[in-house]
Every structure is written in structure tokens, then in C-alpha cells.
Amino acid sequence: MEVIKITPRGYCYGVVDAIQMAKQVAQEPAYPRPIHILGLIVHNRHVVESLEKEYGIISLDGPDRLSLLDQITEGTVIFTAHGVSPAVKAKAKEKGLVCIDATCPDVTRTHELIRDLAGKGYQIIYIGKRGHPEPEGAMGEAPGRVHLVENEEDVDRLQLGDGPVAVTTQTTLSQWDTEELIEYIRSRYPNVLVYNEICFATQARQEAAVTQAKDADLVLVVGDVRSNNSNRLVQVVRERAGRPAYLIDSVNEIDLRWLKGARRVAVTSGSSTPTHLTREVIEFLEALDPDQVDLMAAKA
């Protein structure tokens, strides 16, 4: 089977930094135990399981980081790459925990932007995904002034008054979806200030996937089902490249029926996907005989 290895793909620098920071903390005896991560350091179960098994780091996951802190009574807490609100940081310090901040620099920049805009009196429309930890942290920078929207209906429900309005975004969204919603916001608030905060790594991976997928019969995206950027890669390939695309956690999730009639398969991966998982998928596909695949798929 011919495999198109989409590049860039896989780990971004924010993910690499967060994982390395967690490992360094675990290897340094000076940090008090136990070591907890408040949430998932990145949205990939393989990474989370590895940190627990090899380094003894406990990951706590849930929709409310402030409530998760109630489960930690001592030791060290690591804030994830997605960022946390000032209230979470304050509560952790009040509990006497040693705090390690692994927030991605791109997310930190968005937090700084929100603080600055709120300080100038702006109401801030934040385009993001409900239930994702990144909007939770960002909105906590200015409670009551940051308004989460996912679609045009959410925008229509806003009641922002007559003051100045700005819009910013979650870093891991689809740039095309964001652009369309921003244009709709402009139509409702003509004087809105726009700050598109989709990170360069996310944008570059989406553009590469759309461009390079056009020569493939189908596309496999290696990533965790909870990874927003991985799910967005599937979305943009389907919608922008017009190719079938499937999200898989590992090589074990490949369904041979997807490959029936395929001769060229493109592979990419989310920014929190370990390299070895993508490599295993590529090697598996390259070893396949397309004619044999067609026969096996027909019998499946």
C-alpha cells in the first residue's frame, strides 16, 4: 500500500514542553509527593498512562479544575498545557501545594489578551468548545466578561450591551470554521476587534492535511477521541479535501473495510499523539498488499 506521510504532523512544541516538564518534576526528588496533574497533561491516553506507569504521576480528569483540587491535599500539582484560571492557581496555593505550570505559551498569550481587553472594558466573545479545559481556563481570566460561543445560534443569544466588543478563539479549532463564525460575529457587531488565536502548529497541520490529502483515497488521523485538534483534522479533511477520513487511537483500530479499493492512504496525527503510534500505523499500511486487502475486506 502506498502511504502519503502528511507533514507536519504529531507533537507540537507546547505538548513536548508539557510532557518534558512533567517528567522532570517526577525525576526531581525535591518536589514533594504525591505528584498530581490537574486534568490530562495532553489529550492522549497513551501519554497519560505512560506518565502514571513510568513516573508515578497521578492524573485527575474532570470538567471543573477548581473542584478537582479538592482531591489533592498535599504534594505537587501540575497544570496542563490547556491552561487554568486564576481561581485555580489561587486555590492551589492556598492549599499549600507546589504548583508547576505547563500551560502552552500560545494559550498563555490568549489569557494575557483576555486580561488586557477586560481591563479596557471590552466584552469578549470566545469561540471555543464547551467542556474543553482550554475555554474553562481562558474564561476564568475575566468572569462575566468572556462569553463562550460555538455557533451562530450562540451568537444570536448574546446580550452584550453598548460597550466595546472583541472576539478571540480557542487555539485548537478549525481555522475555516473560526473564520466563518467570525464573519457572522462581524455582521452582528460591525466594530468588533478580532484576535484569531488558533496556534501556528494547529493551522499548519490542518493546511497540510487538506492539501496533501487530495492525492489520497482516504486519510487516517492518529489521535485520541478527546483530542480536539485530532477531531478537527478529520473534519477539515472531509469538508475541505473531500476525502473520507477516520480517527484512530492506534494501529489496532484500523478497519480493513475502510481500505477496500484504496491504493494510496494518507496518514497524519494530532499534536498530542506520540510519534511511535503514527509510525506503527504507517509501517502496517506499507506492508499491506492492496489486492489482499480487497479480498479480506470482502470477507469481513
Among the options 28, 134, 136, 152, which is catalytic? 134
Amino acid sitting at position 154 = D
Catalytic (active site) residue 179: no
> Which secondary structure element, helix H or strand E, spans residue 105, and what is its range?
helix 105-119
Q: How far apart are CA 21 and CA 289, in angstroms?
A: 42
Q: What share of the chain is helix, strand, coil (3-state, %, to 5)?
A: 45, 15, 35
- Cis geometry, peptide bond prior to residue 34 (ω within 30 degrees of 0): yes
Q: Is 75 exposed, middle or buried (0-12, 13-18, 19+ CB in 10 A)?
A: middle
Q: Is 112 exposed, middle or buried (0-12, 13-18, 19+ CB in 10 A)?
A: exposed
Cβ 76 vs Cβ 128: under 8 Å:
no
> Which residues are catalytic, by number?
134
